[in-house]
Every structure is written in C-alpha cells, then in structure tokens.
C-alpha cells in the first residue's frame, strides 16, 4: 500500500478511490494499492508546497547538498531489495533493475554538487554594481513515466531541490511503490516535508498540475501526445521541459563488422523489453550487408530468454502493462498488414511460468517501407523493423524521415562517415558503434523535433539548473542617485 504525501501527511485521495498495481510477470500478484487521485488532490498538493517550500528555499546550499547526498546513501542501503521491488512493479530484469538502482543515487549526488555550484554574475557598471542572482522558480511539478521510475524522477527532483524549489511529484500510475521509495529517502535525509508532495493518479492529476498557475515550472517525461497537451496548457509565463518519444534508427554501413552490429542492434532494441525512449526500433542497413545482418539479428533475437525478471538467466522481462502488451501485438498485426515480413517473435512465449504475465517474444520485421506506420510510429516495445538502403545519403534521409529525433546510431569503422552522420542527422543524441540506449550521467540528454522541447537538456549540469532557477538582475549603488 502506498499513499499521497500532502502537507507532510500520508493520505488517500479525497475521493478515497484506490487502484491496484499488479506484477506484470504474474498478474495474480498485487504489488501495491495506491490512491487514484483526482484534480482536487493535485490542487491541494500544489497549495501545500506553495505554502511550505520557503523554508527549503532559504536553506543554505551546503545543507541542500547534504540532504541530496544523504538521500543517495539511504537509497544505497539495500540495492537488492529496491531492485527486487522494481522488477515486481515494472518488469525489468534484475540486472537492468540493479543498473537503475545504482544510477539513481549517483544522480542525486551529481545534483548535490550542483547545489554548491549555482552562481550568478557581476557586470561592469559605473560607480556601482550590477549583478544577476539565481532564485528558485517556486513550485515545480514533476510528471514522470513508468519505464525508469527511480532514475527519471531523480533527474527532476534532484536539480529542482538543489536549486531550492518545492516539488509536486506525479509519478506514473504504473509505478507507485518506487516513487514512494524515492520520496521516503529524501524525507529520511532531512528534506522538510513542506518542500515536497507526492500525488498518485493518472492523467487527470497531471493535467491539473499543468493547469495550476501556482506551478512555475512543469518538467515532464513521457509520450509526445501527452507532452503536446501539457505544452498547450502551460502559457508563456510559466515554463515546460518536455522529454518525449522516439523512433530511433541504427544505420549499418557496408563496412561494418556484422557480429558487432548485430549485438549493438539487439541490445538497443530488446533491452528493457524495448521499453526505452532511446530503444532501437529501425535498422537502416546498406544493401550489401542487409541480408546477413538480418540473419544474425534474427538468430540472436530467437535465443533471448524471455521470462520473469527475477528468474535466473532471463534476458528480457514482460511488458509493463496490459495496454503495452495489446499495443505491441497490434503493431505486429499492423506490420504484417502493411506487407512487411515477420521473421521471428511478436507472439507470447510458451511455458507455464509465463502464462500469467504480459510477455511477448522479440519481433523482427524486414521489408519495412519508410512511410509505413511501423517505420513512423513509436511502438515502445520489442518490435524491430529493417529498412534497406543503397547509399550513405539515403541512409541519412531515411533516418531523418520521421517526426522524432531522440537517439540515432551508426555502425561503421569509417570515422569520416560517422562524423558526417553525427553532423547531419536530426537527433539530439548520436551513438557511433554503440547501442542507441545507455547514456552518460554527466552529458546533456534530450532529443529534437517531436522528441523534446529542448527547453533545457536533462543531465546537463549548469545548463539544466537554469530550468529550475529564475535569473534576477540587480542594480546597486551606495547612495541614491
């Protein structure tokens, strides 16, 4: 059971409605029950943080850094336990969950450092001083998805709190337990309860937060559709940071090492069950290597062990929800109907241990055409499409031929063409000879086009903390003049 945190009290929703979260690997198991909050809970949370965050805003940078650092230590106390909860709630494999559990405290420590590095500037001025100072925005709403329920919120709560803001945290309705763990760690570390609220629930809560004028900044990670709605709601005087969907390509040129290329494609496409915003969903292969690469990718996909993320040797867990499962199956049908050829996967695996979960075997299509739905729309699951091209220029054109621009990869030993690709491709992130997934925690992260507003990249230190602060310019002279 988890609860909302409003004004320092753990409570249910005002309407006393609750929802159950079930284990996606075995839906007979209830993992949590959480408040199914409504707009009025969102408004109460904003009211509580607007009234209560000032104590935190006045706290010294040293203290803010200490709280974030201690919260990191709390989260590091029992990584196995946290990772096991994450597997049961979201469906990752244990190895993937441990990766997220380790990254989250590291993020908090990174932002603890940022609390100490917030600076203003001074400007030359005759007979006085002009300086700019950084102040917190006030109330920040953080609206997050389910696929990284610790890592993504820590990249929002960390910098927002480092800068002295109060935060209303609206996690995905799919992952209430992990959201609670993050908030509990911050409270145990000494964050004043007035500086944070946690509101569980669905789109109604998120929409109410975005619409509330007392919220100075909305940081959102999720689908492009929902991001668009938030952007339309928040007017010009408040700010939004939107990190959204992707349709990430890997270009494989004719000089690539095909075993390495196949490993890179399979890791990027089927890691996290294909449920990563940066996951590979298109392989754009040069005609000279297309068939051989396809064969290697199909063989690797067929060998992947699909099952409960806690079971020994499992390499791909379930899809997180029934909706995800239905969506993936639907896109497999769409691909077939569009005339693409399904080589493997797309159906539930066999076996009694997977009968009660949202499992789908990794799917590989060839003959996908650039304008088809399978090539254009984000599936957010283990469905990979091969597109055949005849030249480097065509590969770049096809890579750019969607509305998204999050992560794009190229596999080639030819550094000149790799650099040309990095310069030309319309993508916020470019990976050369690496999977499209997996990012450094100290480098700017975010997309272009429909993948991001580019308001302020996440993970980007100084650049990122600008989103969470207001610049104020002060003119000062010793005497009135």
Cβ-based nearer residue to ligand NAD, 389 or 430: 430
Question: Burial, 127: exposed, middle or buried (Cβ in 10 Å; 0-12, 13-18, 19+)?
Answer: exposed
**Closest residue by Cα to residue 105 from 147, 65, 85, 76:** 76
Cβ-based nearer residue to ligand NAD, 240 or 366: 240
Cβ-based nearer residue to ligand NAD, 185 or 276: 276
Q: Which of 6, 152, 277, 332 is catalytic?
A: 277
Which ranges in 170-303 belong to alpha helices (H)?
176-188, 203-211, 224-233, 258-270, 290-303
Query: Which residue among 67, 226, 234, 395 contacts ligand NAD (CB under 6 A)?
Result: 226
Does 107 bind ligand NAD (CB under 6 A)? Our answer is no
The C-alpha atoms of residue 249 and residue 368 are separated, in whole angstroms, by 13
The residue with its CB nearest to ligand NAD is: 206
Measured between alpha carbons, how far is residue 235 from residues 47, 136, 225, 439, 465 in Å?
20, 19, 18, 32, 21
Q: Write down the least CB distance from residue 191 to ligand NAD, Å.
A: 21
Measured between alpha carbons, how far is residue 199 from residues 34, 107, 113, 195 in Å?
10, 22, 28, 14
Residue 94 backbone zone (phi > 0: left; psi -120 to 50: alpha; other: beta): alpha
CA contacts within 13 A on the Cβ side of 358: 26
HEC profile of 104-141: HHHHHHHHHHHHHHCCCEEECCCCCEEEEEEEECCEEE
Binding region for ligand NAD (CB under 6 A) out of 6-14, 118-126, 159-167, 226-234: 226-234
Q: Which residues pair with 34 in a beta bridge?
A: 19
Cβ-based nearer residue to ligand NAD, 69 or 204: 204
Q: Write down the least CB distance from residue 91 to ligand NAD, Å.
A: 13
Does 380 bind ligand NAD (CB under 6 A)? Our answer is yes
Query: Which residue among 25, 38, 210, 408 contacts ligand NAD (CB under 6 A)?
Result: 210
- Cα 272 to chain center, whole Å? 12
- Residue written as token pair 């990772």: 83
Does 175 bind ligand NAD (CB under 6 A)? Our answer is no
Does 365 bind ligand NAD (CB under 6 A)? Our answer is no
Cβ-based nearer residue to ligand NAD, 202 or 348: 202
Q: Write down the least CB distance from residue 398 to ligand NAD, Å.
A: 20
- Alpha-carbon dihedral sign for residues 49, 55, 61, 67: negative
Cβ-based nearer residue to ligand NAD, 308 or 451: 451
Query: Which residue among 71, 98, 197, 207 contacts ligand NAD (CB under 6 A)?
Result: 207
Q: Write down the least CB distance from residue 320 to ligand NAD, Å.
A: 8
- Cα 242 to chain center, whole Å? 10
Does 89 bind ligand NAD (CB under 6 A)? Our answer is no
Number of H helices, E strands in the chain: 16, 21
The C-alpha atoms of residue 129 and residue 60 are separated, in whole angstroms, by 24
Q: Write down the least CB distance from residue 414 to ligand NAD, Å.
A: 29
| Residue 449 phi, psi (nearest 5) | 50, -135
Question: Burial, 313: exposed, middle or buried (Cβ in 10 Å; 0-12, 13-18, 19+)?
Answer: exposed
Does 221 bind ligand NAD (CB under 6 A)? Our answer is yes
Query: Which residue among 176, 245, 317, 357 contacts ligand NAD (CB under 6 A)?
Result: 245
Q: Write down the least CB distance from residue 223 to ligand NAD, Å.
A: 3
Binding region for ligand NAD (CB under 6 A) out of 23-31, 115-123, 217-225, 351-359: 217-225
Tokens (6 digits) for 44: 């109460």
Contact 86, 174 (CB under 8 A): no
Q: Write down the least CB distance from residue 237 to ligand NAD, Å.
A: 19
Cβ-based nearer residue to ligand NAD, 3 or 244: 244
Over the window 131 to 170, marking each residue x when it contacts ligand NAD by CB under 6 A and - when it does not, the resulting string is ------------xxxxx----------------------x
Q: Write down the least CB distance from residue 244 to ligand NAD, Å.
A: 5
Over the window 393 to 432, marking each residue x when it contacts ligand NAD by CB under 6 A and - when it does not, the resulting string is -------------x--------------------------
Other Cβ atoms closer than 10 A to 355: 11
Active site residue 426: no
Over the window 436 to 465, marking each residue x when it contacts ligand NAD by CB under 6 A and - when it does not, the resulting string is -----------x---x--------------
Query: Which residue among 113, 128, 203, 413 contacts ligand NAD (CB under 6 A)?
Result: 203
Contact 282, 331 (CB under 8 A): no
Binding region for ligand NAD (CB under 6 A) out of 190-198, 201-209, 261-269, 432-440: 201-209
Q: Which residues are known catalytic residues?
A: 277
Q: Which residues of this protein are in contact with ligand NAD, per CB under 6 A?
A: 143-147, 170, 172-173, 202-203, 206-207, 210, 221-223, 226, 229-230, 243-246, 277, 378, 380, 406, 447, 451
């Amino acid at each position: 059971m988890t609860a909302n945190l409003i004004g320092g009290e753990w409570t249910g929703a005002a309407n006393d409605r609750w929802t159950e979260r079930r284990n996606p690997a075995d839906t007979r198991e209830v993992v949590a029950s959480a408040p199914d909050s409504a707009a009025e809970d969102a408004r109460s949370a904003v009211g509580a943080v607007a009234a209560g965050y000032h104590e935190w805003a006045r706290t010294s940078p040293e203290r803010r850094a200490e709280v974030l650092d201690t919260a990191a230590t709390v989260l590091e106390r029992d990584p196995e336990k946290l990772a096991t909860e994450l597997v049961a709630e979201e469906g990752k494999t244990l190895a993937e969950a441990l990766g997220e559990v380790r990254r989250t405290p590291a993020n908090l420590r990174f932002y603890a450092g940022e609390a100490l590095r917030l600076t203003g500037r001074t400007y030359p001025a005759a007979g006085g001083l002009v300086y700019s100072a950084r102040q917190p925005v006030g109330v920040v709403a953080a609206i997050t998805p389910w696929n990284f329920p610790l890592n993504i919120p820590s990249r929002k709560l960390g910098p927002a709190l480092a800068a002295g803001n109060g935060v209303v945290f609206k996690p995905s309705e799919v992952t209430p337990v992990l959201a609670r763990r993050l908030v509990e760690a911050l409270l145990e570390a000494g964050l004043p309860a007035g500086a944070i609220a946690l509101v569980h629930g669905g789109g109604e809560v998120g929409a109410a937060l975005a619409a509330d004028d007392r919220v100075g900044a909305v940081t959102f990670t999720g689908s492009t559709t929902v991001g668009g709605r938030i952007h339309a709601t928040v007017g010009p005087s408040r700010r939004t940071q939107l990190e959204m969907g992707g349709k990430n390509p890997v270009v494989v040129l004719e000089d690539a090492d095909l075993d390495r290329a196949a490993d890179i494609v399979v890791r990027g496409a089927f890691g996290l069950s294909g449920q990563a915003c940066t996951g590979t969903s298109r392989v754009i292969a040069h005609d000279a290597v297309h068939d051989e690469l396809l064969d290697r990718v199909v063989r690797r996909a067929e060998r992947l062990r699909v099952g409960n993320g806690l079971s020994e040797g499992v390499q791909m867990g379930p899809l997180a929800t029934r909706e995800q499962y239905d969506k993936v199956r639907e896109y497999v049908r769409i691909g077939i109907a569009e005339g693409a050829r399904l080589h493997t996967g797309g159906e539930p695996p066999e076996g009694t241990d997977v009968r009660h979960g949202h499992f789908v075997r990794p799917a590989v299509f060839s003959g996908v055409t650039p304008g088809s739905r399978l090539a254009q729309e984000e599936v957010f699951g283990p469905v990979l499409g091969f597109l055949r091209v005849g030249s480097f220029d065509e590969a770049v054109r096809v890579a750019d031929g969607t509305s998204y621009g999050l992560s794009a990869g190229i596999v080639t030993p030819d550094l000149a063409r790799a650099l040309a690709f990095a310069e030309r491709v319309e993508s916020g992130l470019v990976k050369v000879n690496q999977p499209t997934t997996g990012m450094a925690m100290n480098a700017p992260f975010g997309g272009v086009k429909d993948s991001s507003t580019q308001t302020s990249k996440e993970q980007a230190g100084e650049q990122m903390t600008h989103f969470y602060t207001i610049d104020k310019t002060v003119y000062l002279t010793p005497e009135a003049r």
